[in-house]
């Protein structure tokens, strides 16, 4: 690592990665000629050249700014490192939304160590909003300015707003667990991809419940939400940074109430 690279903070590196991904991705969004490949022979798991190009751009920057850190990316797998730290990249979380023209997809960037995420960024390039979190501080910047993020404090499931990507992901058992909670809340919304986690950190909603996630789907949201005051675990109440079943909640009371309903369906 060069001396100039040493002078760049981890959060600044994450912002530079998000900037690079924005520049690469935006020309592809809503383009009529966008090609899509399917990574799942038994279903539909789309990937586009925008996904690949954005991850390449971020990896190139990390090779210069953090050459000793490992990388885990959705499209190009793992690059080993020697520092004990890993940059976890999802160049387009919500590719189904991306190819459909909805602005709910985002770029996810996390830095983690053996204990989990240290920092996270959720970036929505098209509407220009960026959510970041580390060291107990979460913030958002966007076209209307910026602010500090705080999750909201409402305490009952009956008042809660719940978001999910179901029924697109998860097993029938996962779906049953989700429905156990959905039946108790005030409002449920579907298909919001990573933008749901940003809204939770912003104090707009109360919960996100999902399953079948990978590490690169959830590590950045964990860092942002926890820095904003929220709670993210698996359905057993344990760490969620490896993926699988995830419950993200705005506060410990909402989390505990939902966890009690989800526990019978936990892996």
Domain at 173, CATH number: 3.40.190.80
Do residues 162 and 254 both lie within one domain?
Answer: yes
Do residues 82 and 161 both lie within one domain?
Answer: no
Is residue 132 pLDDT above 90, yes or no? yes
| Residue 37, pLDDT score | 75
| Residue 42, pLDDT score | 67
Q: How confident is the model at residue 154 (pLDDT cuts 50, 70, 90)?
A: confident
Spell out the alpha helix ranges (H) of the chain: 3-6, 10-25, 49-65, 95-100, 172-182, 195-201, 215-227, 252-262
Measured between alpha carbons, how far apart are the two ends of the chain, in Å?
41
**Distant-in-sequence, close-in-space partners of 44: CB < 8 Å, separation ≥ 6:** 38, 96
203-214 mean pLDDT: 96
Give 245: exposed, middle or buried? Use CB within 10 Å, 0-12, 13-18, 19+.
buried
89-100 mean pLDDT: 94
Do residues 112 and 226 both lie within one domain?
Answer: no
The rounded distance, in Å, linking the Cα atoms of 225 and 43 is 31
Do residues 144 and 178 both lie within one domain?
Answer: no
User: 118 is written with which tokens?
Assistant: 């240290």
Do residues 31 and 70 both lie within one domain?
Answer: yes
| Residue 168, pLDDT score | 61
Domain end (from 103, 123, 148) = 148
Do residues 210 and 248 both lie within one domain?
Answer: yes
Do residues 118 and 241 both lie within one domain?
Answer: no
* Owning domain of residue 38: 3-148
- Name the 3-class secondary structure at 141: strand
The rounded distance, in Å, linking the Cα atoms of 170 and 212 is 5
Is residue 3 pLDDT above 50, yes or no? no
Do residues 50 and 82 both lie within one domain?
Answer: yes
Stated pTM of the model: 0.94
Q: What mean pLDDT, rounded, does the chain reach?
A: 93
Do residues 10 and 139 both lie within one domain?
Answer: yes
| Residue 53, pLDDT score | 95
Domain end (from 148, 168, 202) = 148
Do residues 208 and 244 both lie within one domain?
Answer: yes
Contact yes or no for 213/243 (Cβ under 8 A): yes
Residue-wise pLDDT tens digits, 32-59: 877 777 766 666 667 889 999 999 999 9
Residue-wise pLDDT tens digits, 163-200: 998 676 678 899 999 999 999 999 999 988 999 999 99
- Report the CATH number that the domain containing residue 23 is assigned in CATH: 3.30.540.10
Do residues 124 and 173 both lie within one domain?
Answer: no
Total domain count for the chain?
A: 2
Domain end (from 97, 116, 148) = 148
Do residues 12 and 144 both lie within one domain?
Answer: yes
């Amino acid at each position: 690592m060069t001396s100039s690279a040493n002078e760049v903070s981890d959060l600044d590196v994450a912002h530079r990665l998000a900037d690079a991904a924005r520049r690469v991705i935006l020309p592809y969004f809503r383009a009529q000629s966008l090609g899509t490949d399917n990574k799942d022979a038994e279903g539909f798991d789309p990937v586009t050249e925008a996904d690949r190009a954005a991850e390449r751009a971020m990896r190139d920057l990390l090779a210069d700014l953090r050459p000793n850190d490992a990388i885990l990316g959705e499209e190009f797998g793992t690059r080993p490192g020697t520092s004990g730290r890993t940059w976890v990249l999802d160049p387009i979380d919500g590719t189904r939304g991306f190819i459909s023209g909805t602005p709910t997809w985002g770029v996810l960037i996390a830095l983690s160590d053996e204990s989990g995420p240290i920092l996270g960024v959720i970036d929505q390039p098209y509407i220009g909003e960026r959510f970041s979190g580390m060291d107990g501080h979460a913030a958002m910047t966007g076209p209307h300015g910026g602010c500090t993020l705080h999750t909201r404090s409402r305490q009952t499931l009956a008042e809660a707003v719940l978001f999910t990507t179901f029924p697109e992901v998860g097993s029938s058992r996962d779906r049953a667990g989700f429905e156990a909670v959905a039946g108790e809340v005030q409002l449920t919304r579907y298909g919001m991809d990573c933008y749901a986690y940003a809204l939770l950190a912003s104090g707009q909603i109360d919960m996100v419940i999902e399953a079948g996630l990978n590490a690169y789907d959830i590590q950045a949201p964990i860092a942002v939400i926890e820095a904003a005051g929220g709670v993210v675990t698996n359905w057993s109440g344990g760490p969620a940074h490896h993926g699988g079943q995830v419950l993200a909640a705005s506060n410990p009371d909402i989390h505990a109430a939902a966890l009690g309903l989800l526990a019978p369906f936990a892996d």
